[in-house]
């Protein structure tokens, strides 16, 4: 009855293992990255919060779009997934102007070929959410690309399908989150194809690592927004004058505790489930 897991890939803060020919195990660690550097100090339970949030969203969107979730392990940080043929595209939806979208807008008045109205401020809500695909960079940053280049990577029909699926998912989750005081400024999906060639949502979904979560009560366009989850970490790192090259600094206990509390708060607000109940039985988020 014991199980042999073969390690297949490492992300910055997650690990991927093979269970068998059809299934993978996606394990979220407690590691945290900031300014693109993984810090030496872990945030206890961060991986469980992110796995629980992904599972919550997968369960709530499965009728609209199939996803790779097969089940949660009792540890709360490991998700059994269907093995897919992943598409070579980062599927980003932006509802607000931040990050590389803001930079591209300042430089060219457009993001991924969408020209936007003049006079937008940093963090402004866009007239409507836009699909802004990017290439998967193996080193360094993903590169934003226009629809034509993205369609060349996956085929024009598949491109239209991932665009529609991404926008539908974003509208659903951003409305749910906004009602609970969290703005999802933007988010990234990865899709794959199942054995029958059907488009399936993979990776993680609407976690604070794949999305920008902003506290709605502090929202004020015209400046960068505080991060719902990582702001204490960023502020602490900025206070040190760290040059943002590795290795990153150790975090003091109060920053660790404050950050853990923000992750748990995001989980509880979005899922409506106490984190304690999740730890006792992770499957509560699937109901």
Q: Using CA atoms, how far apart are residues 263 and 256, in angstroms rounded to an integer? A: 11
Q: Which stretch binds ligand PZK (CB under 6 A): 3-11, 123-131, 158-166, 273-281?
A: 3-11
Query: Rule CB under 6 A: is residue 84 a binding residue for ligand PZK?
Result: yes
How many residues make contact with ligand PZK (CB under 6 A)? 17
Shortest Å, Cβ 242 to ligand PZK: 26
Interface residue with ligand PZK among 46, 48, 65, 68 (CB under 6 A) is: 68
Interface residue with ligand PZK among 203, 208, 237, 270 (CB under 6 A) is: 203
- Contact string 20-59 vs ligand PZK (x = CB under 6 A): ----x-x---------------------------------
Shortest Å, Cβ 216 to ligand PZK: 29
Interface residue with ligand PZK among 25, 69, 81, 199 (CB under 6 A) is: 81
Positive or negative, the CA dihedral 164, 172, 210, 194 is negative
Q: Using CA atoms, how far apart are residues 191 and 199, in angstroms rounded to an integer? A: 7
Residue with tokens 């269970």: 19
What letters, b where the CB count within 10 A reaches 16 and e where it falls short, cover 166-183? bbebbebbbebbeeebbb
What letters, b where the CB count within 10 A reaches 16 and e where it falls short, cover 19-48? beeeebbbbbbbbbebeebbbebbbebbbb
Return the number of the residue (69 or 264) whose C-beta is nearest ligand PZK.
Answer: 69
Contact 25, 80 (CB under 8 A): yes
Shortest Å, Cβ 112 to ligand PZK: 22
Return the number of the residue (26 or 72) whose C-beta is nearest ligand PZK.
Answer: 26
Stated as kind and residue range, the H or E segment containing 231 is: helix 231-240
Shortest Å, Cβ 18 to ligand PZK: 10
Q: Kindly identify the residues of this chain, within the stretch 160-199, that bind ligand PZK according to CB under 6 A.
A: 192
- Contact string 111-150 vs ligand PZK (x = CB under 6 A): ----------------------------------------
Torsion of CA 235, 239, 241, 247, to 10 degrees: -60
Q: What is the DSSP string of 105-147?
A: HHHHSEETTEE--TTPPTTPEEEEEEE--EE--SSS--EE--H
Interacting residues toward ligand PZK by CB under 6 A: 9-11, 14-16, 24, 26, 68, 81-84, 86, 192, 202-203
């Amino acid at each position: 009855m014991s199980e042999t897991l073969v390690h297949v890939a490492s992300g910055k803060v997650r690990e991927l293992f093979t269970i068998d020919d059809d299934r993978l195990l996606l394990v979220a660690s407690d590691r945290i990255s900031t300014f693109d550097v993984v810090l030496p100090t872990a945030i206890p339970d961060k991986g469980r919060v992110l796995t629980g949030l992904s599972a919550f969203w997968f369960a709530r969107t499965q009728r609209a779009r199939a996803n790779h979730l097969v089940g949660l392990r009792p540890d709360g940080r490991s998700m059994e997934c269907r093995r897919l043929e992943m598409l070579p595209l980062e599927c980003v939806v932006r509802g607000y102007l931040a990050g590389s979208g803001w930079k591209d807008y300042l430089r060219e008045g457009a993001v991924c070929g969408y020209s936007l109205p003049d006079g937008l401020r940093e963090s402004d809500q866009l007239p409507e959410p836009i699909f802004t695909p990017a290439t998967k960079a193996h080193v360094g940053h993903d590169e934003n690309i226009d629809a034509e280049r993205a369609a060349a990577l996956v085929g024009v029909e598949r491109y239209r399908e991932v665009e529609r699926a991404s926008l539908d998912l974003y509208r659903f989750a951003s409305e749910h989150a906004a009602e609970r005081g969290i703005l999802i400024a933007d988010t990234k999906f990865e899709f794959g194809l199942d054995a029958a060639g059907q488009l399936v949502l993979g990776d993680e979904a609407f976690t604070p690592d794949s999305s920008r979560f902003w506290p709605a009560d502090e929202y004020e366009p015209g400046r960068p927004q505080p991060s719902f989850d990582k702001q204490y970490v960023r502020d602490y790192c900025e206070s040190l004058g760290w040059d943002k090259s590795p290795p990153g600094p150790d975090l003091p206990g109060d920053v660790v505790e404050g950050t853990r509390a923000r992750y748990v708060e995001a989980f509880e607000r979005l899922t409506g489930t106490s984190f304690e109940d999740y730890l006792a039985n992770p499957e509560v988020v699937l109901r």
